[in-house]
Amino acid sequence: MSSAAWSDQLDLLIRARTPLIWIRSHEEGRVQDLLAQATQRLQRRLACWDFIEGLSGVLNSDGLGSRQPMAILQWLQQLEASSPTLLMVKDFHRFCDDPGVARMLRNLNGSLRSTPHTLVLCCGAWTPPQDLEETLTLLDLPLPDGEDLRQLITSISISSGEPLAPPALEELTRACSGLSEMRVRQVAARALARRGQLGAEDLAEVLEEKRQTIARSEVLEFCSSDLGTEAIGGLEALKVWLQQRHRAFSEEARRFGLPLPRGVLLVGPQGTGKSMTAKAIARSWSMPLLRLDVGRLFAGLVGASEARTRETIQRAEAMAPCVLWIDEIDKGFGGDGRSDGGTSQRVLASVLTWMAEKRSAVFVVATANGVEQLPPELLRKGRFDEIFLLNLPSSEERRRILELHLESRRPGLGLPLATVVSRSDGFSGAELEQTVIEAMHLAFADARELSETDLIRAASQLVPLSRTASEQLEALKQWASGGRARPASIATRNEA
């Protein structure tokens, strides 16, 4: 929802004499500014209350209700209708467990309907008492959109005496997407203290602020990668598909009528490059990569998981365009929903609904080691653009993977690889990497250069997953062979 649409919704609720509104946001100052604008449009006055300072904004009543939550509610209840008032109470959710306060709020829910007064509670994550849920009208405040950020940055730059040039303004606006107004002001304050002006030089500072913001979310992790898809050995069919989807993010694709890409599910044995592919997509597309820790969604009190899910979706959409990586989704959503009171099912339903209906440039990359635990609704068409099977590499792909690892660690060595390739049949990409590392240990222990013999010895000592979990791998291939998933490797397709 854009800021303009949000303001229209707020105005509608106030005009409709909605008695109790809960604005869910941590941006207290921004909420107060938006309420002040609403009172100007609707010809009302804005009063604010907090536990320490009491009432403010009402002539001759400053300080009223200090340390007395019940007193401020009584004041609003007795207020004359000739003075239409919007009362914003800060941190009031901390007092709602008190039986007297809860009862008074329910009384106000009835009495305020016949007056032009509105009580607005502003707080972030909160699970209201059950007897208050029906009395509160929830209004989520979205993070600042592009136009909000543009106006904010323009205002700050003009105030500093150094207006930004249009290219720098647009670059900073895009970079600040996903940050709250307070965080943008903090970045701007540091830039002004350091150089006296805003500019493109502050992009690194903005990126660091984003990292810290994501780190504070507890559920999302801001990941970085130095390698693109060119550093992945094989998976040529997947690479071609990703190149096509990248172009679909352009304005040209919008004019052509293409929708924004939804995402991709990568299924395959451990070590076949699923995580590396997720990182490489973000690097190749020059998009931030957000890793979702599904396990942390289910930590905390009752209702906290759903709140974290909403916050995660909101944060990801505000960071768009971005790549949202849901690692090992089969472990997060593959259990029995009855064991946790249905929490995992409710969270999964929220995620699936968002994936099916989202209009933002958030590309979801989900990875799974198996499909036997994945719920059927997750595999249904429309959730992901495509499902790919990352199988064990073919002989040509094994050669390419070995060459990449040797070139990154011992560049220019040029060892013959035919024997190693033939003896590493059934090895995953991660096992091939470990083969190179083990061979280097053998050579380093003898104080000599790495040789083909070292690679052969290392390969002979490693027992691949394809031998220890052959039944699981065969079941996965049988599942994919029914047309449920596309092979990520061209070689696999030809061999089939």
Length of the chain: 496
- In our burial notation (b when 16+ CB lie closer than 10 A, e otherwise), range 215-231 reads eebebbbbbebeeebee
The predicted-structure confidence for 214-254, as pLDDT tens digits, reads as follows: 777 778 888 877 778 888 888 899 999 999 999 998 888 88
* Confidence label for 123 from pLDDT (cuts 50, 70 and 90): very high
Mean pLDDT value of segment 470-480: 83
The sign of the dihedral angle between the CA atoms of 139, 144, 146, 147 is: positive
- Give CA–CA dist 486/67, Å, rounded: 63
Provide DSSP, 459-485: HHH---HHHHTHHHHHHHHHHIIIIIS
Ranges 317-326, 374-383, 465-474, most confident: 317-326
pTM here? 0.73
**Residue 224, SS3?**
coil
* Predicted local distance difference test score (pLDDT) of residue 16: 96
Considering only 155-169, 225-239, 394-408, 478-492, which range has the smallest mean pLDDT? 478-492
Q: Which two tokens stand for residue 299?
A: 């930590």
Q: Is 237 exposed, middle or buried (0-12, 13-18, 19+ CB in 10 A)?
A: middle
Residue 299 has pLDDT above 70, yes or no: no
When pLDDT is averaged across residues 140-147 and rounded to a whole number, the result is 88
Please, are residues 79 and 85 in contact by the beta-carbon 8 Å criterion? yes
Identify the pLDDT of residue 228: 83
Is the pLDDT at 417 greater than 80? The verdict is: yes
Fold of 3-140: Rossmann fold (3.40.50)
Give residue-wise pLDDT tens across range 253-270: 889 999 999 999 999 888
Distance CA 202, CA 358 (A): 31
Contacts 24+ apart (CB under 8 A), 395-398: 395/421, 395/422, 395/425, 396/234, 396/491, 397/233, 397/234, 397/235, 397/489, 397/491, 398/233, 398/424, 398/425, 398/427, 398/432
Token readout for 240 is 């071609």
Report the share of the chain in percent with pLDDT over 90: 50
CATH number assigned to the domain covering 395-462: 1.10.8.60
Residue 378, judged by CB atoms within 10 A of its CB (0-12, 13-18, 19+), counts as buried
What is the DSSP annotation of 26-79? Answer: S-HHHHHHHHHHHHHHHT-EEEEEETTTEEESSTT-TTTTTT-HHHHHHHHHT-
Q: Which residue has the higher pLDDT, 168 or 433?
A: 433
pLDDT category at 496 given cuts 50, 70, 90 is very low
What are the extents of the domains in the chain?
Answer: 3-140, 146-216, 229-389, 395-462
Whether the per-residue pLDDT at 338 is higher than 70: the answer is no
- Residue 158's CB is within 10 A of a number of other CB atoms, namely 11
Provide the pLDDT confidence category of residue 479 given band limits of 50, 70 and 90. Answer: confident
Residue 471 CA to residue 457 CA, distance in Å, equals 27
Percent of the chain with pLDDT over 70: 96
**Cα–Cα distance measured from residue 34 to residue 7, given in angstroms and rounded to the nearest whole number:** 8
The CATH number of 229-389, from 3.90.1150.10, 3.30.1360.30, 3.40.50.300, 3.40.50.2000, is 3.40.50.300
Q: Which of 348, 400, 390 is nearest to 488 (CA)?
A: 390
| 146-216 is classed CATH 1.10.530 | no
Among the ranges given (97-101, 262-266, 303-307, 448-452), the one the predictor scored with the smallest mean pLDDT: 303-307
Q: What does the pLDDT read at residue 204?
A: 76
**Which residues sit opposite 222 in a β-bridge?**
290
| For range 53-75, the mean pLDDT | 94
Q: What are the phi and psi torsion angles at 48 (to 5°)?
A: -125, 150
Domains 3-140 and 395-462 share a fold: no
Mean per-residue pLDDT over the chain, rounded? 88
Banded model confidence at residue 53, pLDDT cuts 50, 70, 90? very high
DSSP state of 89: E
